[in-house]
Amino acid sequence: MGAHDRSQAAFHWLLGDQLGPHFLRPNSDIVMIESRGVFRRRRFHRAKAHLMLSAMRHRAAELGDRVRYVQADTYRDGLVQAVGDAHATVHHPTSHAALRFVQGLRQIEVLPPRGFLVQPEAFARWAGSVRGERLRMEDFYRRVRREHDLLMDGDQPAGGRWNLDAENREPPPKNTDALPVPAPYRPREDAIDEQVRADLDRWERSGEVAFVGRDGPRGFPATRAEARRALRTFVTRRLPTFGRWEDAVLAGDWAMSHSMLSSSLNLGLLDPAECVEAAEAAYRAGEAPLNSVEGYVRQVAGWREYMWNLYWYLGPGYRESNALGHRAPVPEWFAELDADAVRARCLSATLAQVRDRGWVHHIPRLMILGNHALQRGWDPAAVTDWFHRCFVDGYDWVMLTNVIGMSQFADGGRVTTKPYASGGAYINTMSDLCGPCAYRPAERTGERACPYTAGYWEFVHRHRERLAHNHRTARAVKQLERLGDLDEVLRQARRRDPDAAP
């Protein structure tokens, strides 16, 4: 089939994370495939499985007669049922495995990726131009801001500064259980959601699939209309306070001022350009402060784009990275999201939120869940898989670089310059979780020793040679050498998993 003929493909395959209008192809019939085998390969969070299927089925209902929606055991079987051996197009998938699969199908033409601001080819050219220096997200972020004219006043950043992180690190307000902000948008379930839940119940009862976590009323958008309402709610009601408490945690406020739009972006229901442009419009109209808007733009146009492009730039072998040599298995209580098996209040509360919603914001992910796994030397590939399965916004491209690179430092510093390990003092400063806890963040030995504090010093000791040569962690090694109770701290950390109930 010639190039001209191939461009006239009658069918376009819409993958399950390509559900927005920017993924459609004019004049092509749409194919959608719901694969049961996906849920057998991984033990997903029940709420994640529900959201994925609800979003696909809602999209199919919107497309009506234009779509051929097939339920099959595998994608290969579904494609045969939908189009036979006819030619079809598909936009570049979001994982190495999916790309290999579609490239191996002779009938499939792979179109460029959509749903991101920067194409992998453009990123590779930029990365190749960085000679003799490490790649830095800050440099990439400024380039994206310039090229897309985001928060720019001429050739200068709005407000005269590129980075307002220093204004976005306030601890939570005291003597309150929740931030003084309106509640986030919550969608309403419908008959499609009811049918999805019935199907999941049936598959689980039959023993065909198994899930973790709970599936309560759907908490995240499954349609573009819902996602756009969620975006408007965030920008008009919650964005003004986002920056100030971006890194703060309150036990009674799981949402804080976060947008909770990551699942909508990662399903393709929203395009990142419309999100950052809406935030900038709020700043230009005087409806949101610059620190909040810059913080949000940094998350979407900076970090999200950086993770996406590093995923492709670093290649499939990146997932095997294990620079620290961590091999311990993820324990059963963590894998099962058993918050009741945990004494440390910060970890118990965070696991409960993951169990109940399949979502927590970036600080609990990094400084409570990831920090715990890093200190205990869990296998980074297993930790990555856990994050992929247990979060509603978890996909291979986003979790691989975030967990292997940032959270577990398994790449030895290709993504970040230091391990994100900390003792209980950080959690105590940035949250209200430590006050009622059975452990004390300042204590590293004894019955009330904080497992994060003891675990931190054991981690520094275990990797002291590597950390001593890192300018951002050398000071911790010197502090370690001055600990008069180091032997007892090491025994405290190694005696047993110190935060799991016996």
Its CATH class, for the domain covering 3-111, is alpha beta
d(CA 336, CA 386): 10
Confidence of residue 464 (pLDDT cuts 50, 70, 90): very high
Q: Which residues pair with 342 in a beta bridge?
A: 500
Checking if the pLDDT of 9 tops 80, the result is no
Checking if the pLDDT of 171 tops 50, the result is yes
Amino acid 178: pLDDT: 94
Amino acid 105: pLDDT: 96
Checking if the pLDDT of 2 tops 50, the result is no
Its CATH class, for the domain covering 120-185+221-314, is mainly alpha
Find the mean pLDDT for residues 431-445: 96
Q: Which two tokens stand for residue 179?
A: 């931030």
d(CA 84, CA 107): 10
d(CA 313, CA 325): 23
Amino acid 497: pLDDT: 57
Checking if the pLDDT of 3 tops 90, the result is no
At 271-301, the pLDDT tens digits run: 999 999 999 999 999 999 999 999 999 999 9
Checking if the pLDDT of 7 tops 70, the result is no
- Residue 292: what are its φ and ψ, rounded to 5°? -70, -45
DSSP annotation of 406 reads I
d(CA 156, CA 139): 14
Q: Which two tokens stand for residue 345?
A: 């209040």
At 365-387, the pLDDT tens digits run: 999 999 999 999 999 999 999 99
Checking if the pLDDT of 499 tops 60, the result is no
Amino acid 8: pLDDT: 58
Burial class (CB within 10 angstroms; exposed 0-12, middle 13-18, buried 19+) of 160: exposed
Checking if the pLDDT of 1 tops 60, the result is no
Q: Within the chain, which residue ranges are assigned CATH 1.10.579.10?
A: 320-494
Tell me the pTM: 0.95
**What is the CA 65 to chain-centroid distance, rounded?**
34
DSSP secondary structure letters along 106-151: TTEEEEPP-SSSS-HHHHHHHHHH--SS---HHHHHHHHHHHTT-S
Checking if the pLDDT of 130 tops 90, the result is no
Burial class (CB within 10 angstroms; exposed 0-12, middle 13-18, buried 19+) of 482: exposed
Checking if the pLDDT of 258 tops 80, the result is yes
Find the mean pLDDT for residues 459-475: 96
DSSP annotation of 389 reads H
Compute how many other C-beta atoms are within 10 angstroms of the C-beta atom of residue 172: 22
Compute how many other C-beta atoms are within 10 angstroms of the C-beta atom of residue 64: 8
Checking if the pLDDT of 394 tops 80, the result is yes
Q: Which two tokens stand for residue 456?
A: 């931190």
Question: CATH topology for 320-494?
Answer: DNA Cyclobutane Dipyrimidine Photolyase, subunit A; domain 3 (1.10.579)
At 40-53, the pLDDT tens digits run: 999 999 999 999 99
Checking if the pLDDT of 4 tops 60, the result is no
- Residue 51: what are its φ and ψ, rounded to 5°? -65, -45
At 56-105, the pLDDT tens digits run: 999 999 999 999 999 999 999 999 999 999 999 999 999 999 999 999 99
